[in-house]
Every structure is written in structure tokens, then in C-alpha cells.
Chains A and B, each alone.
Chain A
Amino acid sequence: EPEVTQTPSHQVTQMGQEVILRCVPISNHLYFYWYRQILGQKVEFLVSFYNNEISEKSEIFDDQFSVERPDGSNFTLKIRSTKLEDSAMYFCASSHPRRDEQFFGPGTRLTVL
């Protein structure tokens, strides 16, 4: 069964450094999403992406964040200058245009020191 994959599974970085989290959505999906889950808290929406542009973003998704679909398969989330409070699990998801369920990847645990 097709699935969403994410790399790396765990990323450790120093405060102020840039990180790029990578995702490969399911191949026939057209909508892509990033969510984050701070330890012990709820899963929060960050951004949705369709047709090579952001379609919706939350207030969390400030100028430090950006997303990109650099080729036909990858979908990336970049954090330009990481802060301690960016430490979280980041989930990528994708969905088919005619169905409303989203399929989530296994997540990347980001630790900012």
C-alpha cells in the first residue's frame, strides 16, 4: 500500500541553524500538508500546499518557515533559523483531490539545542 515517507526520522540542530525536513507524498496525491506536535500536545496545522503554492497557513507558519516542492516527488519544510520552541515532531501529509482523508508520514522529530 502506498505511504507517505519522511526523512530524517530524527534531526538534532543548534539554535539559529537552518533545517530542511523532507517528505515524499503518495504519488497520485495533489494536496500536501505539514503539521507539528510539540511533545505531549495536540497536533497543529502549519501549512497546506496545492498547485505549487501555499493555499492556507496558520499563525505558527511565520517568515521563518517555507515550503517547496522542488521536483515531482519531494515536499520540503525549511526552518531558516531554528528556535528552542521549534522542537517538535513534524508530520507531512498528503491527500487525493477527490477524497478528504489525509495520509500522514511517520514524522521527523526535531530537537533544537
Chain B
Amino acid sequence: GDSVTQMEGPVTLSEEAFLTINCTYTATGYPSLFWYVQYPGEGLQLLLKATKADDKGSNKGFEATYRKETTSFHLEKGSVQVSDSAVYFCALVNSGGYQKVTFGTGTKLQVIP
């Protein structure tokens, strides 16, 4: 079945540091890939998405590129802020069917001033 694997957290960075959160996936077909963010005490917000190979999703300074050859969708940001502290979930929706989201385990990011 479909699965998403994320790097273990927590990740602790200083403000303005470079962020990478690794994500790889296994899926049949041609999935769409997503990053969701969950701020403390809040629900899940869509951060960015990519629907086909080589697409780059971007939002709020975060980027991720859909790499079919390595089945990866790593999240990056050039300069993190304290307000980026949250849990980040990599996810996929497979083509066809009724579009259930398969989530990774989540990576907690803590940014310290």
C-alpha cells in the first residue's frame, strides 16, 4: 500500500538557519504530494503541494520538489523563523479512488531565537 516516510524529529534550529526535512514515499500510480503544517494547538494546514514529477511547490518561503526518480519530496526553507516552529507532515494522495491522504509520522521543528 501507499506509505510516506519522514525524518525523525525533533529538529532544533537557530533562527535564520537553513531547514531540510526529508520525505520519501511509496505509491502505485501517480500521486500528488503535499506538506501540511500543524502549529501548536491548531489543526492541519496545507503548506504546499506538487502534482507531477519535477513540479516545485512553494509557500511562505518553503519549497519542495517532486522527484520521481528518488521518490522524494524534501521540504526546504532558506531562513527559518521562530514562528515556523510546528509539526510538519509529508503526505500523498494517490490518483484515482476517493483521495484519502496518507500521512508521514510528522517532524517537529523548534526554532530558537
Stretch at the interface among B21-29, B60-68, B97-105: B97-105
Count of A-B contacts judged by CB separation below 8 Å: 57
A50 and B98 in contact, given A42-B106, A106-B42 (Cβ under 8 angstroms):
yes
The answer to whether B102 touches A45 (Cβ under 8 A) is yes
The answer to whether A107 touches B43 (Cβ under 8 A) is yes
Q: Kindly state the interface size class of chain B when it binds its partner.
A: 20 to 34
**B45 adjacent to chain A (CB < 8 Å):** yes
Q: What is the predominant secondary structure among interface residues of chain A facing chain B?
A: strand
The answer to whether B46 touches A35 (Cβ under 8 A) is no
Complex CA distance for A103 and B43, rounded to whole angstroms = 10
Chain A residues with Cβ under 8 A from B93's Cβ? 100-102
Interface residues of B (CB under 8 A from A): 32, 34, 36, 42-46, 49, 51, 89, 93, 97-106
Interface residues of A (CB under 8 A from B): 31, 33, 35, 41-45, 48, 50, 55-56, 91, 93, 95, 100-107
